[in-house]
Structure 1
């Protein structure tokens, strides 16, 4: 019997996993930490083995962050394009890690670079998902001034995902930073409007509004918790659900 046959039934059929570039750098201050990339790839595989169709968007902040470059005097559009290229590097690293453990993966770039990634064609991407390939969407939306959070929400809607899973350093959304305040309270559920009004920083405002307008739930969970991604899809674990 294979792993998929032994796995519990997943609560979602197709999901978007959004992680930051910083999640790939482990304890380093920058760049890629191969053991961390491999650990996250194993988390993705464990969910893939449940029969779930997976899209991914990975930020680029471990290599270059457009806003930071802009703040240091670089022209914003140029800085954002550099950030988009950083996301492609992260996507290729994750593709390599996933394929090394037997998960077929496609990197799909919003900026054409045919030698290293497929161009974004919605129907082709949907077909990859139907064939149980993991699709990693790179280069954001292909436009400056849009974050990878917004790109993840856009692609999740285009791919008709049932939820966005936002992997973070903490196990949900809190009323204040749990690493600074011992009395921080975690929400089990919270509305899109409350996230926006309280400036809770789950995702940027454009992403939250796009999710709200399309009634796409956001599941915020800890990517540092081993088995957390799979556990939530099996109906367990600790997380916050952002919904209407």
Structure 2
């Protein structure tokens, strides 16, 4: 099967890097993700990554514990850079050239986010990992994924999660929960389905960037998604609710 996409953006939650740990980074999981991304690169697809920081620090939880929300969000952004650097190391051990770009300047360890430079890296076959979110408090890394996807002209956002798609209710609570194969942006927003936060969905809708939600833990799924195999749930303008 030929490549369906030439340039994609992969959104990884911080929790995805924890594996079965309760906190932090599981090196085995990071190596597994790096191998999956390496397979995509070997197929000639340009891939950028946005990584969350919830495995280390989550701004909303910090704010709930009494911290100033903006301060908590900035700490969360710094946590994402730790994840980005860890993933970069694993990718480069797999001989995949990788650049980390951060929205908060950390010039000793990463490049600043510069859109044209990011695109040039992708054109040269490098993986680009975007750290520090959008650089703004009150915005999630989901929103960053939608924003960066639009900026670099990615054709699709892949959201890798711990479930195999989007359901009409929580499948862990309701054994009869129905998984959607396809959804419209409007349906996701109207029914407050937990795909990404509403700002991210609206950004993808405005820029007509489809979103595929799939299970990261199934080996080969990142490559399957990039090759256009019908896994998980696809959210798009031309999709029907099914």
Name the TM-score class by shorter chain: over 0.9
Whole-angstrom distance in 2 between the partners of 1:221 and 1:54: 17
Residue 16 of structure 1 is matched in structure 2 by 9
1:1-244 → structure 2 map (5 Å cutoff)? 8-244=1-237
Does the CA contact (< 8 Å) of 1:110 and 1:140 recur in 2?
yes
Task: Report the secondary structure of 2:25's partner residue.
Answer: coil
Q: CA deviation at 1:237?
A: 4.8
Q: Distance in 2 between matches of 1:57 and 1:222?
A: 17
The superposition leaves residues 117-165 of structure 1 with CA deviations (integer Å, 9 ceiling, x where unpaired) of: 0001111110000001000000001010010000111000000000000
Question: How far is 1:10 from its partner?
Answer: 1.3
Contact 2:157–2:211 under 8 Å retained in 1: yes
Unaligned segments of structure 2, at least 5 residues:
238-242
Please say if residues 228 and 237 of structure 1, whose CA atoms lie closer than 8 Å, have aligned partners that are also in contact: no
Task: Provide TM-score, normalisation by structure 2.
Answer: 0.96
Equivalent-residue separation in structure 2 for 1:142 and 1:230 (angstroms): 30
Unaligned runs of 5+ in 1: 1-7
Secondary structure of the structure 2 residue equivalent to 1:230:
helix
* d(CA) in 2 for partners of 1:223, 1:197: 26
Structure 1 Cα separation of the partners of residues 154 and 187 of structure 2: 23
Q: Distance in 2 between matches of 1:44 and 1:202?
A: 22
- 1:164-192 CA deviation, whole Å, 9 max, x = no partner? 00001111111111122211111111001
Matched-pair contact (CA < 8 Å) for 2:6–2:45: yes
Contact 2:211 2:236 in 1 (8 A): yes
Pairs aligned (count): 237
* TM-score, reference length from structure 1: 0.95
Q: How far is 1:114 from its partner?
A: 0.3
